[in-house]
Amino acid sequence: MDGDIGENAEMDYRVIGSDGPGMFDIATNRSTQDGMIVLRKPLDFERKRQYSLRVQVENVHINPRFFSMGPFRDEATIKIVVEDVDEPPVFERASYVMEAKEDAARNTIIGSVSASDPDDKNSLVRYSIDRRTDMDRVFNIHAGNGSVFILRELDREDNAWHNISVIATEFNNPRQISRVPVYIRVLDVNDNPPTFATNYETFVCENAKANQRIQTVSATDPDEPLGGHRFLFTLAPDAAGKANFSVRDNKDNTAWILTRRNSYNSLQMSIYHVPVVISDSEFPMQSSTNTLTIRVCTCDREGNMKLCNAEALTARAGLSTGALVAILLCVIILLMIVVLFAALRRQRKKEPLIISKEDVRDNVVSYNDEGGGEEDTQAFDIGTLRNPEAIEESKQRRDIVPETFYPPVRRPVLPPARDNNGDVRDFINQRLQDNDSDPTAPPYDSLATYAYEGNGSVAESLSSLESVTTEGDQDYNYLSEWGPRFKKLADMYGGDDSDRDS
């Protein structure tokens, strides 16, 4: 610290010595004139746990009058102690490369990884494989010693390299993990036989000569031997005795197909199948029999094909007789469907029987059920209103069974005022008067029966059973004032109490 103020108190710090060169630096805080130690390289507790610094500080502005009172600087030794922090495991290598043969058996160990805890406690490490890098679970790892082994069969032709990631986790603190990439190369094994390099379309002219070359064939093999491929071509042993063609190996992974006679007849044999055996020179040796199809065709003098028979052309296109028949049937079925569709459309376009702009029959609904009351054709007959003389006097209503208290009174039917189509209103009024004066014609037009009496009505109960307490409280004499239609009720209820008692 400096007792001066202002610019005389400004100081400058610098490191003049350290047992860790380049590890630390010091800077001056101009507002407080403090020295701040700055870390320039990462620390490692396991490598060095303590550092010693020699720091010097001096005034920036010195008045020359006070030089004799100097020096205006000071030095100090600073010790820095590094604290331990729990760190994740550290692998011995930044990446690993392993190799495995594609015919290796399951559970075969192909390599191992190693990681350790850099902390003093030296926690145990557990290993695992990140399954996001091994979705097919081809490999696995021993959790304790880090040995990588095979879980499934390998195929170099399918996948020559496998890139997986191994995880190391502290046993005491599972949150401390680290990863390392592992590259596994699958070594080739001769496990695939060679085959034709392509599908050959070969023909022979009917006028071909013996030992004439008609095709050059080659082979391919998905395996990759170290010395390169070496293929051998031969004719199958079972066809060598009666062969019409021969195979000549050119010793350069190709072979010629040659004729063995002077001429061929397409009528006798239109297609020949030549079995060619192709083998490699690796260990173990792999071989396969490939069939070469040769068509007999008509050619010109230069050997150019002019015409082949229908069977040969069909074989070239890859269509059999059954396939052609199936295609023909499909075509016939499609034609029948088209004809049927056209006939239906033509039938829909026929003119309707009634052509009228006013003939609106968009929605026609038919009801087969007879409505309520329509069966009563005699009780309500509108014809009676038009022709009163046609009424049957003795006809009874079929919807009721009236009790006859009085014999029916026959009344003469008044003639119509004008004609058969007279005034309907006058007729209705006349019939109304007749029925009002007829005591045998009760009003049967509407009958409502209520089996239950409602509760909670604001108008109280309308039943006569609850209107009075005794039967004598009710007076029925007013019924005689209602006319002849209520005469029967007046006789039954309107008499004296002595009459009812007797």
CA distance 483 to 489: 11
Q: Quick check: 272 pLDDT over 70? A: yes
Task: Residue 24: name the closest of 46, 48, 2 by CA.
Answer: 48
**pLDDT, tens digit (0-9, with 9 covering 90-100), for 310-364:** 554 454 455 567 788 899 999 999 999 999 999 888 887 655 555 555 555 555 5
Question: Is 294:214 a contact under the CB 8 Å cutoff?
Answer: yes
CB 19 within 8 A of CB 34: no
**What's the token pair of residue 410?**
């026959």
* pLDDT greater than 60 at residue 117: yes
Amino acid letter for position 255: A
Average pLDDT over residues 142-148: 96
The alpha-carbon radius of gyration of the chain (Å, integer) is: 61
Please say if the pLDDT value at position 68 is more than 70: no
- Distance of alpha carbon 280 from alpha carbon 194, whole angstroms: 7
Write out pLDDT tens, residues 168-222. Answer: 999 989 999 999 999 999 999 999 999 999 999 999 999 999 999 999 999 999 9
pLDDT grade for 467, boundaries at 50, 70 and 90: low
SS3 240: helix
Distance CA 166, CA 181 (A): 6
The answer to whether 157 and 187 are in contact (CB under 8 A) is no
| Structure confidence at residue 372 (pLDDT) | 53
